[in-house]
Structure 1
């Protein structure tokens, strides 16, 4: 299509977009999901308003109408679909602007990049972790503390992203089938390919991974034991992706979303006096706090900013290349020598 094409040239913008998704190789399931949301948006608009004339206020009203009927993660997915629709149609010249841009900016959680955060010493964190007895909850908190990954990245982990040297687990679960994990036992793989609303490993995701490059993170003996205890009670998952972390109460067996993980962390942080309604990033302990804790303590212990940048998934070609090519010697040895103990 010419970049000068106007809305008058496309009678059904939604149909046009769905057809282009097919040309881009999107699966039937993905296209059906997009069309269901976009047609719902069309039906929501007032008479006389179309997708081509909708404003950011129309989009905000639509997103607001979803709340109460749908979970926050589903609302975020619907908004992401609408944003991608408008972004694409603007890019190809069918629409003049994307009214969802401002809406998404308002929805995005704003985080102070360098706040004065609560200072929790390692012994106090050990006491906190020991007090978490539920196998799933302990596994969530320990994985965040031991890897420094983002909460969305945690939720997107599948069984294929974990490899452990344990005959019982290897016999019971399809672990570590990622090619990147070949010859890298006791590791977690974090993909750069997960995006909200996109299908990955047979499942449409409700969270995005923000890193640009793949990362392989060592799994030490403590985290291995915690994960084994969790897998022993993990419900069977209906998803073909076989999520690593799934619900054990509501949404039994379904992949956990970031909001569910935040609720788990908030519950225990409140009990510890580390979370207050209305408290900011400097006061409250959240999943993102664990990323800060990991970064601060591992950097101080190793003195090697490159390894920490690699594990965090920070993008720098020289860092990625150096540590990817010498992963066993540089990353695993540095990590296992310096990572803090959570159980004494």
Structure 2
């Protein structure tokens, strides 16, 4: 009986309007615990695609759309891939619901988008210790200074920083607890005295101005800082100091993700063991020796404080 009802429901799904199917898909993404940012990105990309193409697509439709966004619109490589990631996930849902017989997007991506990935030979911008100190010192607003130093000292991702609340910060104990994130295997990140001093100054600034919002980092309007605001703050200061070229190659740009590269590289150059770096970054260690080798929080913090670069930041 259950199987028959399921078949009836999936058969009925074939005739649902596009708007309902899209809404059902977005709900499905939420049930599968996709991040709000991913759900919103999928929604925007799919609405644009469906404004130009039918819900039941063919490889020819995908070719036309690829030429449109890549060649006519001039979208960046990463943006093109994001569109097709959304399309693939959506069509996987439609196949599951019985709306289409087969999801043709994965094979299309393998044939026509593989060249994009093969061409990624550029390295991201890596600045030295003095340049990082100059970047942090160049921030006139204490919020930006605290944000830059926290990025550098923890190596967290942009969204992880944005999601932080004041209550997640334990300054006296020199650690913060991140929100759950699909790409991170642990949630505790450490910081040193140098970072703590800047954070304390930022928290005092907030207190004196009676900032009540829970978000740790805020934008100029007083609300939780946005992804664009983080990007603009980082790139504008990098531009002023001469190591961000908005029109240049990847290794000529300094973006928020470059902090993660800086954190990883300078820990390694200081002699920090690879396993410790992996734990600090929140990477999943999958080899058998990693699974059986338990690194305690005390060990992790001790090695972190031993190897994290000191910058001599000015307040």
Shorter-chain TM-score above 0.5: yes
Q: Deviations over 1:254-293 (max 9, x none)?
A: 3223322121111111111111232122222222222111
- Equivalenced residue count is 277
Distance in 2, Cα, partners of 1:89 & 1:267:
42
Distance in 1, Cα, partners of 2:123 & 2:51:
44
Q: Residues 265 and 287 of structure 1 are in contact (CA less than 8 Å); yes or no, is this contact kept in structure 2?
A: yes
From the superposition, tell whether residues 300 and 230 of structure 1 become closer, same or farther in structure 2 (CA, over 3 Å): same
Q: Residues 7 and 52 of structure 1 are in contact (CA less than 8 Å); yes or no, is this contact kept in structure 2?
A: no
Shift of 1:78: 10
Shift of 1:146: 0.5
Q: Which residue of 2 aligns with 1:267?
A: 236
From 75, 85, 88, the counterpart of 2:93:
88
Distance in 2, Cα, partners of 1:43 & 1:296:
40
Q: Which residue of 1 aligns with 2:312?
A: 343
Structure 1 unmatched runs, 5+: 68-75, 166-184, 194-209
Q: Which residue of 1 aligns with 2:103?
A: 97
Q: Which residue of 2 aligns with 1:247?
A: 219
SS at match of 1:232: helix
From the superposition, tell whether residues 81 and 280 of structure 1 become closer, same or farther in structure 2 (CA, over 3 Å): closer
Q: Which residue of 2 aligns with 1:256?
A: 225
SS at match of 2:250: coil
Q: Which residue of 1 aligns with 2:197?
A: 225
Q: Residues 215 and 310 of structure 1 are in contact (CA less than 8 Å); yes or no, is this contact kept in structure 2?
A: no
Distance in 2, Cα, partners of 1:43 & 1:150:
29
Distance in 2, Cα, partners of 1:91 & 1:301:
50
Structure 2 unmatched runs, 5+: 1-5, 74-80
From 157, 161, 166, the counterpart of 2:164:
157
- Alignment TM-score, normalising by the size of structure 2: 0.68
Q: Which residue of 1 aligns with 2:128?
A: 121
SS at match of 1:217: strand
From the superposition, tell whether residues 191 and 144 of structure 1 become closer, same or farther in structure 2 (CA, over 3 Å): same
Q: Which residue of 2 aligns with 1:287?
A: 256
| Bigger Rg, structure 1 or 2 | 2
How do residues 4-83 of structure 1 correspond to structure 2 at under 5 angstroms?
Answer: 9-12=14-17, 14-15=19-20, 18=23, 21=27, 41=47, 45=51, 50-53=54-57, 55-56=61-62
Shift of 1:52: 3.6
From the superposition, tell whether residues 277 and 321 of structure 1 become closer, same or farther in structure 2 (CA, over 3 Å): same
Shift of 1:60: 7.5
SS at match of 1:302: coil
Shift of 1:334: 0.4
Q: Residues 171 and 196 of structure 2 are in contact (CA less than 8 Å); yes or no, is this contact kept in structure 1?
A: yes
Q: Residues 310 and 319 of structure 1 are in contact (CA less than 8 Å); yes or no, is this contact kept in structure 2?
A: no
Aligned: 1:145 with 2:152: yes
- Alignment TM-score, normalising by the size of structure 1: 0.63
From the superposition, tell whether residues 42 and 129 of structure 1 become closer, same or farther in structure 2 (CA, over 3 Å): closer
Q: Residues 155 and 245 of structure 1 are in contact (CA less than 8 Å); yes or no, is this contact kept in structure 2?
A: yes
SS at match of 1:290: helix
Aligned: 1:131 with 2:135: no
